[in-house]
Amino acid sequence: MNTERDSETTFEEDSQPNDEVVPYSDDETEDELEDQESTVEPEQNRANREAEENREPFRKECTWQVKANDRKYHEQPHFMNTKFLCIKESKYANNAIKTYKYNAFTFLPLSLFEQFKRAANMYFLVLLILQSVPEISTLAWYTTLVPLLLVLGITAIKDLVDDVARHKMDKEVNNRTCEVIKDGRFKIAKWKDIQVGDVIRLKKNDFVPADILLLSSSEPNSLCYVETAELDGETNLKFKMALEITDQYLQREDTLATFDGFIECEEPNNRLDKFTGTLFWRKRSFPLDADKILLRGCVIRNTDVCHGLVIFAGADTKIMKNSGKTRFKRTKIDYLMNYMVYTIFVVLILVSAGLAIGHAYWEAQVGNYSWYLYDGEDATPSYRGFLNFWGYIIVLNTMVPISLYVSVEVIRLGQSHFINWDLQMYYAEKDTAAKARTTTLNEQLGQIHYIFSDKTGTLTQNIMTFKKCCINGQIYGDHRDASQHNHNKIEQVDFSWNKFADGKFAFYDHYLIEQIQSGKEREVRQFFFLLAVCHTVMVDRNDGQLNYQAASPDEGALVNAARNFGFVFLTRTQNTITISELGTERTYNVLAILDFNSDRKRMSIIIRTPEGNIRLYCKGADTVIYERLCRMNPTKQETQDALDIFASETLRTLCLCYKEIEEKEFAEWNQKFMAASVASTNRDEALDKVYEEIEKDLILLGATAIEDKLQDGVPETISKLGKADIKIWVLTGDKKETAENIGFACELLTEDTTICYGEDINSLLHTRMENQRNRGGVYAKFAPPVPEPFFPSGGNRALIITGSWLNEILLEKKTKRSKILNLKFPRTEEERRMRTQSKRRLEAKKEQRQKNFVDLACECSAVICCRVTPKQKAMVVDLVKRYKKAITLAIGDGANDVNMIKTAHIGVGISGQEGMQAVMSSDYSFAQFRYLQRLLLVHGRWSYIRMCKFLRYFFYKNFAFTLVHFWYSFFNGYSAQTAYEDWFITLYNVLYSSLPVLLMGLLDQDVSDKLSLRFPRLYVVGQRDLLFNYRRFFVSLLHGVLTSMILFFIPLGAYLQTVGQDGEAPSDYQSFAVTIASALVITVNFQIGLDTSYWTFVNAFSIFGSIALYFGIMFDFHSAGIHVLFPSAFQFTGTASNALRQPYIWLTIILTVAVCLLPVVAVRFLSMTIWPSESDKIQKQRKRLKAEEQWKRRQNVFRRGASSRRSAYAFSHQRGYADLISSGRSIRKKRSPLDAIVAEGTAEYRRTVES
């Protein structure tokens, strides 16, 4: 069986997940994974591979071909794909973005097609057709046509408005301009006209319109600085660099116009951090990687001009490939409402069938023997019953409310505008208002169980601030004066003595300034000198102002702090760095830069002072620095205590140290360093080993404490959402330590939280899988599943897991190619069956493992997933949706959050400096995370309550209205005669009962917004579906049935054997219809008054206005004048005036209304008195609770030894600019003439060939 196991695709189980790396993306190939391992190929494998290659030609991965400045090349027949029948289009997408659904020609047919996919609309279309058949029509055709046209028209207009907005946004993006080479010159072109193979020119602060290969730039060595905030929410600059050959030869317009390079690269994919390709030019080939590619959505920064070749355009760009599939989102109530409409369909058919059978029986027993009922047709009773079935389908059609859907759309539209108009969700700094980008999901905001949030730019501002430091065992950063006395009064330090101070830096410890200026403690000046010299920041001067370009915001904050304290980094060359030390400029020789990486967690610089001394300065994580300190460090314990204090305040810490180096020691080490720098294999490992030799016996200077500034109100928001029983999961690409630190800062994690990591979770899940396998047997499927918790009850637990562990745990690890290649010869049936069973077992194991993981994670109060890819973010959201059936919300700010935003039931985009990609894909957007509490706890809860009340009332009023026909059938021989006038049936849902319920759905609120925020537990009713479910639905139906009985039988009893005031009997059919209709309109409008919690003038006016409107229209329709004009359409001439002048009828109406409403009043009174809900209790005490309670931040508890959660961020998530600096490629220099460059390049090439 070993052969079978080897031939299967198996999960990698031999490698330990790495917490520091972001795992591969879903598009990663097996070849790329196998490149990591150099295994010896077995002889059998080699033979099989050769046989396979001989069988059919090998197809390379790089199949995307791009020819520069040659559009016709990409239009060749072999690049064309068949789109539809004989219509073909190029596989190369154009650069136009299309998010709209309709155009001028397709709007009407597609809109109608979309609307008639709704069962109710199709039902009413069929009904309209039935009403045009005279034999079965019992109602005029217009009773269905008018409401149907109203519904279709309003929905179509709403779709049109939404699509026009999409057209405008698409037009705005597609009509942006850039310069493209056409006819040998750069010309202005729109983004939508850019094509693959075009050479374009971009300037500073331009957005990159497509994925392009960087050819050259105005910077030295064609460096190009880009901001990727649109992609990942990070505002720190990243650099790209062109190939040396294109940098040399493609600087001028004429050379760019004649550029005819040919590129073979990978097909379009979603890997933001990887690219594989080859440039063929001048009879040479040059490898291409991600460092040479500028992605669509990036912004050019600090680079005057750059040139690029378009490789991927439009829908093929990586940012679009990462956006995921656009899903049609519908609310939980929508699905429930559809099932309820189907239930009503079934009830309608059963009732109609029962009444049709009754008519057939009545015809056989009575109708055939009553000569005065003969209609001239000799139809059998069964045929008459069949016709009557369709007749009752028409009469009882209002049981399925046609106006329900349009009313729901109107309410949702109004609620969306309330969100847009909410001034408390308006961010004045950025002039950004909240925006409901969809109108179909508002009530679902009141049912959220899980929130999935990005970190950078969503919870944090991505702004690092120097807050405190510890120097020589002394902590600085509190509010102190120059005499070292603490003060409650906040007085900012005046940096006016420093001409290089940036003016934005805020610091409050005057004693530190006194120490720096006095020079009493040498270590204080050494501390800030280290910050000014030990970094890979690059500087740029604009109008005399210094602008720092840092590989990470952490490092920028440290250099900027040193600048404000008087130690200013001014400039650097390949071998020197110039610092202004309290006004005195000094230049130091840089002997070596020992750059940061995620394993070292530190960086060092070796310099020679003007006096000739050699000194090493180092900064890094405390865990790695303390291991390398010399034994005699007197302030070691004091610094450790300071680090613990900084950690308790959720500040990001860093240790600083130095050492003096002897000339002989450096010379010996430098030889090893140079040898490692040119190593042909394992260069990084060799360098790390050499670095270790010099970075030892260090002298500790102190520690820095940087605040990764949270957005305002983040801890308060998370606290309130937690009280509303909403669980928050943070999904981020950041490192584990950084994510954990932010978890404490925003109070998602607390001091008493027990944190479980990937290895703990893997062990728990492995044990659970073993137990489930042991329990599984013949009888396992008959035993009911018993919920078994992973953790003992009580205690506060959190889960922190990295992307690599996530793949390991969820069995999502990339699969290796099988060790023995399976040739394409037929297998036996037994082998096929066993292979199929093996695959099924693997899938079942994977599904069970994923379900167990979700169960375990949901037992934790908080979950933080770090180092995860965009695809993994979406996968985590999908797992919770799939296995917990919970309503999810995802919130983010960058393109890497788009997939997650689209996957969740509701997506929220943070709009601001980070770009608009997430906002464009979201359902709701606003500028600050803190607005989420108002969106959910106020707008979401109100929308849910309003929609539930609206639906319950709508079903009630329609059943009360429709089932009167049912009771009337028992007294008219089941003849499908209506109990009302036709016009009343047409206008009942449109005019007589629509406005009050619409206003309740728009304006009602059980408690105020302040009380909703103060008592988050009120939110729970939506999560538990307490206000609208099948039980509530059937209660509403029962209420409607009882009301219809009262409406019919009380007037019927009153009309039996009665005589009016004038001696005439008022008990004719038309007067009876008017009496029931009047009682119905008054009852349903007063009922909405009982259901209303929040009374305004508008509500009162709508209720009494609807009743007045009914009587006004009825008297008008019953007048003689309109009968003369339209005799066939208006047949109740004079009925209203004759019937309603009888006091007896008014008494009947009042009695009917009273009997309908008084039991409801009694039940409501008893329920509020005996079983009050949470909102009922708050309503009673709302006056006393008017003053909103102020939220207080949880007090930090300092505990010695809390360093286990200290952030060892070590200044960057990627390598810094050290290689650029040491090579001199980033240093500006006068460009040589082209001839000299060509000659130099030729000589260099010859030397390379000769060597």
Q: Which residue numbers are catalytic?
A: 454
Q: Among 309, 253, 307, 254, which Cα is nearest to 281's?
A: 309
Q: Provide the 8-state DSSP code for 935.
A: I
Distance CA 642, CA 1151 (A): 81
**CA 101 vs CA 105, 416, 1175: distances in Å:** 11, 21, 42
Question: Where are the extended beta strands (E) located within 329-423?
Answer: none
**CA 691 vs CA 607, 628, 1224: distances in Å:** 15, 12, 21
Residue pair 208/225 in contact (Cβ under 8 Å)? The answer is no
Element (H, E) at 88: strand 87-90
The sheet with strand 305-312 has its strands ordered as: 185-190, 177-182, 199-203, 305-312, 211-217, 293-294
The residues, any chain, with a CB within 8 Å of residue 61's CB and separated by 6 or more, are 29, 31, 266, 267, 276
Three-state SS letters, 749-784: CCCCEEEECHHHHHHHHHHHHHHHHHHCCCCHHHCC
Calculate the CA dihedral of residues 351, 352, 357, 358 and round it to 10 degrees. Answer: 70
The residues, any chain, with a CB within 8 Å of residue 667's CB and separated by 6 or more, are none
Distance CA 961, CA 1039 (A): 12
- Tokens 């008493």 — which residue? 752
Beta bridge partners of 706: 466, 652
Q: Among 871, 866, 875, which Cα is nearest to 804's?
A: 866
The sheet with strand 277-281 has its strands ordered as: 64-67, 262-265, 277-281, 284-288
Distance CA 914, CA 898 (A): 13
Number of H helices, E strands in the chain: 43, 35
Helix, coil or strand: residue 206: coil
List the structure tokens of 1211: 């200044």
Q: Among 1057, 1173, 843, 965, which Cα is nearest to 9's?
A: 843
Beta bridge partners of 657: 618, 700
Task: Look up residue 484 and give its amino acid.
Answer: Q
List the structure tokens of 586: 């000094």
Question: Where are the extended beta strands (E) located within 459-565?
Answer: 460-471, 474-476, 538-542, 545-549
Element (H, E) at 214: strand 211-217
Residue pair 1054/1149 in contact (Cβ under 8 Å)? The answer is no
The conformational region for residue 1096 under phi > 0 = left, psi -120 to 50 = alpha, else beta, is beta
In order, the DSSP letters of 1197-1229 are ---TTGGGG----TT-SS--SHHHHHHTTTS--
Distance CA 646, CA 467 (A): 10
Helix, coil or strand: residue 75: helix
The residues, any chain, with a CB within 8 Å of residue 907's CB and separated by 6 or more, are 889, 890, 891, 900, 901, 921, 922, 923, 924
Residue pair 947/440 in contact (Cβ under 8 Å)? The answer is no
